[in-house]
Amino acid sequence: MLNFTVGPVMSCDEVLEVASHSTPYFRTPEFSDIMLENERVMLELLNAPENSKCVFLTSSGTGAMESVVMNVLNDNDKVLVINGGSFGQRFSDLCKLHKRNFTEIKLKFAAQIKPENLAPFENQNYTALLINMHETSSGLLYDMDLISDFCKRNNILLIVDAISAFMADELDMTKLNAAVVLTGSQKALAVQPGISIIALAPEALKRVDDNPEKCMYLSLKEALKNSVRGQTPFTPAVTTLLQINTRLQKIRTGGGGGGGNFCNLSN
């Protein structure tokens, strides 16, 4: 059977092979090296700005969305949420739950964002914008150049949910001037579910550092502190992280998803 859903996406044979072994103990230099490599390659593939960091949370993609709303944003932020479907709605729900001061730009289902949607929000002292680069519920890829220019012009922190866009669409963190990009293991990365990934540019790192801690399990302060030595604060989905390592190495060496039946298409 072929699985054509947006995720979990079928994995190639090399990635599957990784999961056929017992999970190793992970507080070891060997596992730390793998984690540090995962971070390096992720930042390289995203073309993240210098001194960016990348952390791996054991959660589905929504865990990364929630972590960013809790750890990168704060009570003084004036937040814009682009809501064009169920994943935009999720950012709104998270902002509401965590009592962020936010305004929704609500778009019709599958409607592209246009300059006129953004015009009322120019020079209004907004400080952060949340967008799902690809709104998976409708299949719409947002005009990221438009969003990026708007954020640059208004000095707004750009936070990009690229859970379904990473490895499927062109994504350059430096070019977009994105402060945060988040993704997950089970979409185009084509690894089993369980890990979400957050890349943070220096301006986002500074915010995490300055903001009060809101939670323990999804704390980015803790995740970042541990990532310096290639570790995580709590037991991670070790096997999924090993699979990510195999997959990232293949992508970096131009192998894409190749190897398994059908997997060549995933790159």
Ligand X SMILES: *Cc1c(COP(=O)(O)O)cnc(C)c1O
Sole window of 70-78, 142-150, 157-165, 256-264 interacting with ligand X (rule: CB under 6 A): 157-165
Query: Taking CB under 6 A as the rule, does residue 60 contact ligand X?
Result: yes
5 Cβ partners below 8 Å, 6+ apart?
none
Residues 111, 135 contacting (CB under 8 angstroms): no
Query: Taking CB under 6 A as the rule, does residue 86 contact ligand X?
Result: no
CA distances from 120 to 103, 116, 125, 150 (A): 11, 8, 12, 12
Beta bridge partners of 198: 55, 182
Query: Taking CB under 6 A as the rule, does residue 240 contact ligand X?
Result: no
Residue 191 DSSP symbol: S
Query: Taking CB under 6 A as the rule, does residue 161 contact ligand X?
Result: yes
Residue 64 CB coordination number (10 Å): 26
Of 220, 258, 262, 267, the closest CA to residue 14 belongs to 258
Query: Taking CB under 6 A as the rule, does residue 164 contact ligand X?
Result: yes
Query: Taking CB under 6 A as the rule, does residue 62 contact ligand X?
Result: yes
Min. distance of Cβ 90 from ligand X in angstroms? 6
Nearer Cβ to ligand X, position 61 or 257? Answer: 61
Separation between Cα atoms, residue 194 and residue 143, nearest integer Å: 29
In the range 122-151, which residues lie near ligand X by CB under 6 A? 132, 134, 136
Query: Taking CB under 6 A as the rule, does residue 87 contact ligand X?
Result: yes
Residues that bind ligand X (CB under 6 A): 7, 60-62, 87, 132, 134, 136, 161, 163-164, 184, 187
